[in-house]
Structure 1
């Protein structure tokens, strides 16, 4: 489980990140990235709609995405807010495919910190 400091919990935060963040699309996920102050912990949020499948499938996908984000934190992800939206095909995707897509999004140039005040 991600620590409270590493979770996006506010609906307003989700809205801002999805609307104003950089979008990185993959085959099974769409990641939205928004820079924060450098030196702050990375925060992650997940959107897994009913189009992905039953509750069991959605929770499996969410747990896999959380695991990838936990790994990214261990590798030193800092200064960025990330919302990962699972597409309907994510339920059939292998863990390695989801991992590759999320880590690729985190390494994208869109994750470069913005100037303060944005």
Structure 2
């Protein structure tokens, strides 16, 4: 499971990541990444609405996403806020497909972050 220190719990953190963070989406998942300058572990939160399914299905999807994020946590910059929202197709997805979708979304978010920092350091706008 995801380490306790890396779990997002406060509503303000969810709101900040969703409102002010970068967004990347796929049919199964949408992720919001808000980078902050802080020397603390990244915080990860999950949103699985009733549109995904009943309580058992939602909890299963959330557990699978937490398990997948555990191995990907080191790729997230320290101090960042990441919110992963599951869409209805995530309920019936195989774990391998869910992992692939998560990798694509995270790659898009992190690639965009690298190009932004490169632009700032190069002096280009």
TM (normalized to structure 2)? Answer: 0.80
Does the 8 A contact of 1:52 with 1:90 survive in 2? yes
Deviation at 1:37, TM superposition (A): 2.3
Residue 57 (structure 1) aligned with residue 62 (structure 2): no
Higher helix share: 2
Once superposed, which parts of structure 1, at least 4 consecutive aligned residues long, lie more than 6 Å away? none
Q: State the superposition RMSD in angstroms.
A: 2.1
Q: How many Å separate the matches in 2 of 1:13 and 1:77?
A: 16
**Inter-CA distance 104–39: structure 2 relative to 1 (3 Å threshold):** farther
Q: How many Å separate the matches in 1 of 2:62 and 2:31?
A: 14
Residue 98 (structure 1) aligned with residue 98 (structure 2): yes
Q: How many Å separate the matches in 2 of 1:39 and 1:105?
A: 24
Matches within 5 A, 1:2-21: 2-21=2-21
Gaps of 5+ in 2: 121-125
Report how many aligned residue pairs link the two structures.
114
Match of 1:87 in 2: 87
Q: How many Å separate the matches in 1 of 2:36 and 2:102?
A: 18
Gaps of 5+ in 1: none
Deviation at 1:89, TM superposition (A): 1.1
Q: How many Å separate the matches in 2 of 1:64 and 1:70?
A: 10
SS for the counterpart of 1:44 is strand
Greater Rg by CA: 2
Does the 8 A contact of 1:40 with 1:78 survive in 2? no
SS for the counterpart of 2:51 is helix
